[in-house]
Structure 1
Amino acid sequence: MYFASDNAAPAAPEVMAAMAKANEGYAASYGTDDIMDRVTAQIRHEFEAPEAAVYLVSTGTTANALALSMLAAPWQTIFCHRQSHIEEDECGAPEFFTGGAKLTLLDGDNAKIDADQFARVAEHTGRLGVHNIQRGALSITNVTELGSVYTCEEIATLCKTAKDLGIGTHLDGARFTNALVALGCTPAEMTWKAGIDVVSFGGTKNGLLGVEAVIIFDPAKAWEFELRRKRGGHLFSKHRYLSAQMEAYLTDDLWIRLATQANAAGARLEAGLTQINSFEMTNPRDANMLFCKMPRAAHNRAVDGGAMYYMERSDGPDDELIDCRLVCSWSTTDEEIDQFVALAKG
């Protein structure tokens, strides 16, 4: 009963098999392997973007920070939600890789940027010329850090404001496919058709060992990204092991199937927990993450029974409601969910 993070889930068997196959013999290094050529073609096809530049890195932090470094100069700011991953969980990596660009933090329900506030704040930014930080880029997280999902229309509204102000747009898609499945849209509709310039297309949380793609819809930025990736120490020599993971991910819609399983597990878990007295959802469950409150007694029974997830376990009344985060992965089973619900119900 492991609900702490989808990062902790195993890699999909198809991915492990692809890694073993890629390990046979010799292959060109630094991203010039034949598998990477196929990956580039696959991603261009899935995103309906025949000119897109595609690069692989090993972590989501790397993908986000390098992508943003192309969009924001040191004297500019990146607009993002105050609960975005780049603000809360990346230890200043975007600021470091951009050479010092600022993060301007915005509000909005369920960790989604309020479009009106973004327009007001962005319009006000840089008003005194050289004395002010300048507008740099907009970064959107989908799925958000509170488990909600931006619709394509919401992304398009934010991107239009950014475009009208002359700044670039980035989508942090660590759980990209979970959002895609939740919306029932195409990758193109959630990205460049909505106005996104650069995407961090995640795979690590959805069944890969460790690889993320950076997709750049303006190929004129490609060379700059290559230089930044190398200079930052993130160009893999034995790149075929990144390529093999991503190729397996995209083959026979594995990426879609894994995210569908994770989202379905989240829905089953929510349905089960709503049977508990005093249970409350604190944010919408749009994909595979639940943010909720349960009585302390329910938490104690679940944890004592072997469940692992994020919560504050402390002394106090049994009926006191305690916040928690529960995350389902592609490998979460119905049996695990049912066992957890039974323990929590008591």
Structure 2
Amino acid sequence: MKQFLSDNAARVHPAVWDAMRAADAPQSPYDGDGVSQRMDEAFGELFGQPCTALWVATGTAANCLALSTMVQPHGGVVCHREAHIEMDEGGAPGFYLHGAKLLLAEGESAKLTPDTIRAAIDPIRDDVHQVQPHAISITQASEYGCVYRPAELAAIGALARERGLGLHMDGARFANAAAFLGCSAAEAVGPADALSFGFVKNGGMTAEAIIFFDQALADVARYRRKRAGHLQSKGRFLAAQLLAMVEGDVWLGNARSANDAAQAIASCAADRLIHAVEANELFVRCSASERSALRAQGFDFYDWGSDAARFVTAWNTTAEDAQALGRAVAAL
């Protein structure tokens, strides 16, 4: 099968394997090893500002632990109604945030705007009988593969500051967004207080990073990471994966490859595209019989409702496979 099911299914990048083998030596446990100790500096260089980088094992943990530093149990998180934390994390935000509520907002292509955020929070009375917003969570790139521009991030950040709200970015596909924008990592993250920096979808194995630009939040997160069971005793293997991707810009090269493959398919899909293709996801109008025809030709992908398909490219998607899918879609 030609794999377009998910970038989670992609191969682990060789640099990650090499780094893990190199880390297989006696070291201090937990995050006291030399590899983990290099993370703050490496990510600080990437973002051009001081930050604290903590490894965890999953993107769900990264999102929820980051948000837990900003949101009290009686508070709420504003997010898009199709955000991953709402649709695909099995109630983990409520678990990690001890019952805090997700306040759902609208927005085209699963992106929030200041207006849609205000529409969600302005009707909330400022009294103890209603859940008060404590943070905003946005996804870069969005659940439909669409990217926030720096000006959009700045506008949401200004609203967050005006209302005294924390700003979290779910960056499961942050690399793909940065590659599309062609800007610095700092511009792609904008004014976020914390970023869940995705690696597993981009050639990593078992490591994700939470990047804190607010040291006070990082200090809280260290305790909550331990309490949540994510302080691994051999954390050097997680740190090694992350550094292998960041040092030498492997993370960005991988994302560019995935984005290029998506564009090759998009160029053949024409008016079947439901959303703009700005990262490595394509949402394509396909009937049930058309999807069956594609699968019969050896393409693996997810159905998206009753009349669409989702195709996801990865760092190791070959040009040949992308072109083959593009031709197959064009021939439907």
TM range (shorter): over 0.9
Q: Aligned residue for 1:246?
A: 242
Percentage of pairs with the same residue: 38
Alignment counterpart, residue 326 of structure 1, candidates 303, 307, 311: 311
Alignment counterpart, residue 305 of structure 1, candidates 265, 281, 297: 297
1:36 deviation in Å?
1.4
Q: Give the Cα separation in 1 of the matches to 2:280 and 2:116.
A: 28
The TM-score normalised by the length of structure 2 is 0.95
Aligned to 2:192, the other structure's residue is in SS state: coil
CA contact (8 A) 2:68 2:97 kept: yes
1:173 deviation in Å?
0.2
| Structure 2 gap ranges (5+) | none
Q: Aligned residue for 2:230?
A: 234
Deviation digits for residues 310-343 of structure 1, max 9, x if unmatched?
12798xxxxxxx3010000000001112222344
Classify 1:298/1:131 alpha carbon distance in 2 versus 1 (closer, same or farther; 3 Å). Answer: closer
CA contact (8 A) 2:266 2:326 kept: no
Q: Give the Cα separation in 2 of the matches to 1:300 and 1:98.
A: 42
Pairwise mapping of residues 117-196 of structure 1 onto structure 2 (< 5 A)? 117-125=116-124, 127-191=125-189, 194-196=190-192
Q: Give the Cα separation in 2 of the matches to 1:109 and 1:342.
A: 29
Deviation digits for residues 246-285 of structure 1, max 9, x if unmatched?
11101211111000000001000111333xxxx5111111
Q: Aligned residue for 2:5?
A: 4
- Structure with larger Rg: 1
Establish whether residue 219 from structure 1 lines up as the match of residue 215 from structure 2.
Answer: yes
Q: Give the Cα separation in 2 of the matches to 1:69 and 1:41.
A: 24
Deviation digits for residues 48-81 of structure 1, max 9, x if unmatched?
122x121000100000000000111011110000
Pairwise mapping of residues 1-346 of structure 1 onto structure 2 (< 5 A)? 1-23=2-24, 25-50=25-50, 52-125=51-124, 127-191=125-189, 194-274=190-270, 280-311=272-303, 322-344=307-329, 345=331
| Structure 1 gap ranges (5+) | 315-321
CA RMSD of aligned residues (A): 1.6
CA contact (8 A) 1:79 1:105 kept: yes
Classify 1:48/1:244 alpha carbon distance in 2 versus 1 (closer, same or farther; 3 Å). Answer: same
1:221 deviation in Å?
2.2
Report how many aligned residue pairs link the two structures: 330
Classify 1:121/1:299 alpha carbon distance in 2 versus 1 (closer, same or farther; 3 Å). Answer: closer
Aligned to 1:267, the other structure's residue is in SS state: helix
The TM-score normalised by the length of structure 1 is 0.92
